[in-house]
Structure 1
Amino acid sequence: MTEGRRYSIRGRVQGVYFRAATREQALALGLVGQARNCPDGRVEAQAWGEASALDALGRWLWQGPPMARVEEVREAPAEGPAPEGFRIA
């Protein structure tokens, strides 16, 4: 069953390839969605797919790409229909 989740990631997550790495990881897990930078320095990601793949993405977000320093990952249900592909905004 497909479900959606929204992730809010805080720390040193902008300017370190975080959105693109999130896209690569999500696609490798068979997920669709998007990732965007927020004005307050966070990265927000939304993903849709199987629960086990969403769990794996959530675990990966705590690490991120090598230059990232993740301090917090918050997770909540994502609303709306699943998009096609994975977009970086």
Structure 2
Amino acid sequence: MNVSYIAHISGRVQGVYFRASSQQKAIDYGLSGYARNLADGDVEVLLCGEQGKIDEMLDWLSHGPEQAEVTSIQHKQIPWQEHSFFSIG
């Protein structure tokens, strides 16, 4: 069953290839959605796909790429959103 989640990641997550790394991981997991910077310095990630793969992606997002310093991640399931690929905004 396909589901969608929205996640907000805080910490040193901008300027450290967080979005590009998230895109590559999402593609590896077969997920669609997006990653975008927010004005407050956080990153927002939309994940659409299989629950198990989203769980793995959320686990990865809790630490992110090597240069990142994630201090918190908040996520929740949202109504299904159809996306054909994973984009960077």
Report the TM-score range of the alignment, normalised by the length of the smaller protein.
Answer: over 0.9
Q: CA deviation at 1:30?
A: 0.6
Q: Which runs of 4+ in 1 moved over 2 A?
A: 78-81
Relative distance call for 1:39 and 1:17 in structure 2 (3 A) is: same
Is the alpha carbon distance of 1:3 and 1:80 closer, same or farther for their aligned partners in structure 2, counting shifts above 3 Å? closer
Q: Report the TM-score when normalising by structure 1.
A: 0.96
Q: Where in structure 2 are there 5+ consecutive unaligned residues?
A: none
Q: Is the 8 A contact 2:3 2:80 kept in 1?
A: no
Say whether 1:19 aligns with 2:22: no
**Conserved? CA contact 2:7–2:73, under 8 Å:** yes
The one-letter amino acid of 1:74's match is Q
Task: Indicate conservation of the 8 Å contact 2:13/2:41, yes or no.
Answer: yes
Match of 1:59 in 2: 59
Paired residue secondary structure (2:63): coil
- Distance in 1, matches of 2:5 and 2:87, equals 15
Match of 2:28 in 1: 28
Share of identical aligned residues, percent?
Answer: 38
The match for 2:81 is 81
CA displacement at 1:80 relative to structure 2: 5.1
Taking only aligned residues, the RMSD between alpha carbons, in angstroms, comes to 0.9
- Tell me the residue number matched to 1:10: 10
5+ residue gaps, structure 1: none
- The Cα shift of 1:71 comes to 0.3
